[in-house]
Amino acid sequence: MLSFDDFKISNLLRNAISDLGYKKPRPIQSKSFPVILSGKDMVGIAQTGTGKTFAYMLPILQMLPFSKEKHPRVLVLVPTRELVVQVVAEVEKFGKYSSIKVLGIYGGTNMNRQKEALTEGADIIVATPGRLYDLILTRALKLKTIKKLVIDEVDVMLDLGFRFQLTNIMDLLPKRRQNIMFSATMTSNVDKLINEYFIGPVKVTVALSGTPLDNISQTCYSVPNFYTKVNLLVDILRNNELYNKVLVFVSNKKSADRLFNALDEFYGSETCIIHSNKTQNYRLRSIKQFDEGKNRILVTTDVMARGLDLDKISHVINFDTPQYPENYMHRIGRTGRAEEKGASLLFFTENEKQYKEGIEDLMNIKIPEIVLPDHIEIATRLTPAETPKIIELNNPTKRNSSEEGSDFHVKKDKNKRTNQGGSYKRIIEKKYKKAKTKGDKNYNKRNKRK
Ligand code: AMP
């Protein structure tokens, strides 16, 4: 289907589309529409920026009849609070001329207010799995009326460790429902989830994971260390006309803070930052300032930025080289959106060279390298992670950690536990050798006495 005229949709939706100025459907929209409309389960492999939100919302809104039902009929699960806010805004735009009620639910905010909002009823709930599950436990939300489940950015969700909440929620949903899932990358974990919960899903793919978007130019620089990377970045950013909306990626919060502080001296008023240790309000404010062009530079970690719908990014700068090539694909997918030209720069150290090669293998291309310009000062200052470790043999006062002073830490024993599910039952079984059953409360007492 090459035109929205080919879609069987109501005039209300048609008007909303024309208000949004969408001229023609994106490939993911043309391909998903008939599948979702047919009621079949669907797995969509699409990166952010391809128009996937609209791809599932358009057929869902088309199929959602008016109802006086207060309980939600559509559940959309997304990995981050930011994405909840964004998807709710999108649904409101599409559903502008209908009476569809959409409600966003996410953690880090007052739960009572969300409970109150739920009592007023909603047709579509957009939620992060954690808070949604809390609301189910308090009985503020019932899922028995859900007819359609959408899980967006499944790969990110599983990455964030949401599997347990996700499967718990799916177990509570009515068996007869339509499942729709979107993921940018296929991983074995995503596959497992599909096998467990989906029935004969139709796979819809628009770009193979690992295929770079054609309209993004990619270059890379070999740079010796963190603070030389800072010098290079400061130099590059001087051209504020060309580098007018720059997303700078680092892999962890510590590096993000370190970079943000280093940039402060040069571009303090132009830079903002998001990562998971920042409060939600702080993050939302940063994103808004960046999106509106008040700040031209946004420093972010991978997890925080995936899924955000930021418009017209001029450059993605990979300040470090992602260990997983898929993360690089996600990062560069943030520029060149909506069929516009974009650019990506990658900084790599000697240690990160292997990761760069992994990325090149995945894409099956070599990223053109630019030689570090002579005027870039080579920094002698090192980060704790870059500082060579002095190994003192037989020093009893020195802690024996090879990671000391680095950005990473070794998990304490108590934090190494893994969630094995059904903990109470497991503990009781271990203690009494046999499961304590509801039917015979005195079983264990009797056995103990023996
Ligand atoms: P998404 O992949 O859902 O994050 O969408 C990326 C962006 O594309 C969003 O800002 C949408 O508003 C926009 N978009 C979605 N569908 C279309 C379309 N058919 N034509 C133009 N823009 C679109």
Per residue in 265-279, pLDDT (tens digit) is: 999 999 999 987 888
Backbone angles phi, psi at 392, to 5 degrees: -100, 115
More confident of the two residues 420 and 17: 17
Q: Does residue 426 carry a pLDDT above 70?
A: no
Summarize the confidence of residues 196-220 as an average pLDDT: 80
Q: Which of 53, 86, 93 to mutate to test the pocket of ligand 1 (most atoms within 8 A of CB)?
A: 53
Do 298 and 323 meet the contact criterion of CB atoms below 8 Å apart?
A: no
pLDDT at position 325 is 81
The percent of the chain in helix, strand and coil, each rounded to the nearest 5, is 40, 15, 45
How far is ligand 1, taken at its centre, from the CA of residue 157, in Å? 21
How far is ligand 1, taken at its centre, from the CA of residue 99, in Å? 22
pLDDT confidence band for 447 (50 / 70 / 90): very low
* Cβ of 309 less than 6 Å from ligand 1: yes
Integer Cα distance of 169 and 448 in angstroms: 37
Do 246 and 296 meet the contact criterion of CB atoms below 8 Å apart?
A: yes
* Cβ of 82 less than 6 Å from ligand 1: no
Distances (CA, A) of 151 to 125, 157, 197, 317, 325: 12, 9, 12, 29, 23
pTM to 2 decimal places: 0.59
Residue 199 DSSP code: S
* Cβ of 25 less than 6 Å from ligand 1: yes
Do 64 and 91 meet the contact criterion of CB atoms below 8 Å apart?
A: no
